[in-house]
Amino acid sequence: MSASEASLQAGVPASVPASVAQNPKMKGIPVWERDDVTPIVEFRNVHKHFGDFTAVNDVSLKIYPGEFFALLGPSGCGKTTLLRMLAGFETPSSGSVFLDGQDILPVPPNKRPINMMFQSYALFPHLTVAQNIAFGLKRSNMEKGAIEERTHEMLRLVKMEQFSKRKPHQMSGGQRQRVALARSLAKNPKLLLLDEPLGALDAKLRESTQFELVNIQEKLGTSFIIVTHDQEEAMTVATRIGVMNHGVLAQVDTPADIYENPKSKFVADFIGDVNMIEGTINSAKAVTDETSLEFVSNAGVKMAARCYYDCKKGDKAWLAIRPEKIEVSKTKPEGATNIVSGIVDEIAYIGNLSTYYVRLPDGSRIKAQEVNRRRIVNRAISWEDKVWLSWTQSGGIILPN
């Protein structure tokens, strides 16, 4: 507490340890791949049961200083429970939680150097904007002048100076969101938790607010953990994403890896659009990192794709291919690794993109997407046309059954 207060007055973010800022050898290496940094948050084999229901199932996770970490998953997947454990509103049934290397489970929520921005914003309706922001500061041993200064600084940070005398009910949803952010950052926490912070905003405002959140986070250097069910939001703001399903951490990776190299059917399916082709593995896997693997679809078409897990010939598996990685053509392309043909079932023109749903001979449908770089006057491909779908070897990925 005293350390964070000292740095609060000096204006230095408390959450970034000197080692992160100063070690030149490690420059350019992402903080989560370095071995000289203490994680700001560590979950170790955490379980949480509510009666018969398992909300969190054996989660182990390390989050590093300065990260903007997103917990992503469908509702009821346990992501909010994990967040509330950090805030201190839930206690794990088993396992341990560390903050900056210290066990925080015995620390009550009001003594943790962690603040939370609530989904409902939870602004105090009887207090003005400035009083809301100063609320937490008044509970620390700060002097009156310093409280005023810090409140003003926070108002400036979220560009709400002229609203300081307003009550929450006199503001729009976007303005309330800013005040809630300012209030949760006022005490300069080591860690800020954001529970679906943009859920109540409309789409346009949400998008601009996402970038603003990232800017504020980069400016302060505080570690942020955001809980969201919106994959686009997670991809936009996060340094890394933890995808959760049924209380289990399905995958933790950077947004690009989550999208390009999903490790399971669930992750591939949950993030973005994907075609899943069921089939059998047809060649033994070499041990090298990125192996091209032969795969025979249930319809008997031979395909090749990347594969990152250990498998043997004859294993049942799925080939996942993103719609935008599939090329649609009326003539059979030369030299493509993966080719299937089918009949155009449906075309959806959505302005920037055209989506083709192609029915294969075995009855399954494949979705392919093309960017409309030029204005379409006469569409080359029409309904009921026979087309060829092709994609490269690296376009698809083979996932375990």
Shortest distance (Å) from residue 55 CB to other proteins: 17
Q: Does 168 engage in binding with other proteins (CB under 8 A)?
A: no
- Is 89 a residue that touches other proteins (CB under 8 A)? yes
Phi then psi for 389, rounded to 5 degrees?
A: -110, 130
Residue 120 binds other proteins, judged by CB under 8 A = yes
CB 342 within 8 A of CB 387: yes
For other proteins, the binding residue among 65, 136, 323, 342 (CB under 8 A) is: 136
- Does 87 sit near other proteins (CB under 8 A)? yes
How many residues of this chain bind other proteins (CB under 8 A)?
Answer: 24
Regarding 2 and contact with other proteins (CB under 8 A), the answer is no
325 binds other proteins (CB under 8 A): no
Q: How far is the CB of 153 from other proteins (least distance, A)?
A: 17
Rule CB under 8 A: choose which of 124, 211, 309, 383 binds other proteins. Answer: 124
Binding mask 230-269 for other proteins (x = CB under 8 A): ----------------------------------------
What is the C-alpha separation between 102 and 105, in angstroms, rounded?
9
**Would you say 139 or 386 has its CB closer to other proteins?**
139
Site map (CB under 8 A) of other proteins, residues 170-199, x = contact? -------------xx--x------------
The residue within the footprint of other proteins, chosen from 7, 119, 329, 392 (CB under 8 A), is 119
Q: HEC states along the chain?
A: CHHHHHHHHHCCCCCCCHHHHHCHHHCCCCHHHCCCCCCCEEEEEEEEEECCEEEEEEEEEEECCCCEEEEECCCCCCHHHHHHHHHCCCCCCEEEEEECCEECCCCCHHHCCEEEECCCCCCCCCCCHHHHHHHHHHCCCCCHHHHHHHHHHHHHHCCCHHHCCCCHHHCCHHHHHHHHHHHHHCCCCCEEEEECCCCCCCHHHHHHHHHHHHHHHHHHCCEEEEEECCHHHHHHHCCEEEEEECCEEEEEECHHHHHHCCCCHHHHHHCCCCEEEEEEECCCCCCCCCEEEEEEECCCCEEEEEECCCCCCCCEEEEEECHHHCEEECCCCCCCCEEEEEEEEEEEECCCEEEEEEECCCCCEEEEEEECCCCCCCCCCCCCCEEEEEECCCCCEEEEC
Site string for other proteins, 94-113 (x = CB under 8 A): ---------------xx---
- In whole angstroms, the minimum distance from the beta carbon of 90 to other proteins comes to 11
125 binds other proteins (CB under 8 A): yes
Of 6-14, 72-80, 124-132, 213-221, which part binds other proteins (CB under 8 A)? 124-132
CA proximity to 322, closest of 252, 271, 358:
271
Smallest gap from Cβ 102 to other proteins, in A, equals 18
Asked if 139 interacts with other proteins (CB under 8 A), we say yes
Confirm or reject binding of residue 169 to other proteins (CB under 8 A).
yes
Rank residues 113 and 279 by Cβ distance to other proteins and give the closer one. 113
When the beta carbons of 167 and 265 are compared against other proteins, the nearer one is: 167
Where does this chain bind other proteins (CB under 8 A)? 87-89, 109-110, 114-116, 118-120, 122, 124-126, 135-136, 139-140, 167, 169, 183-184, 187
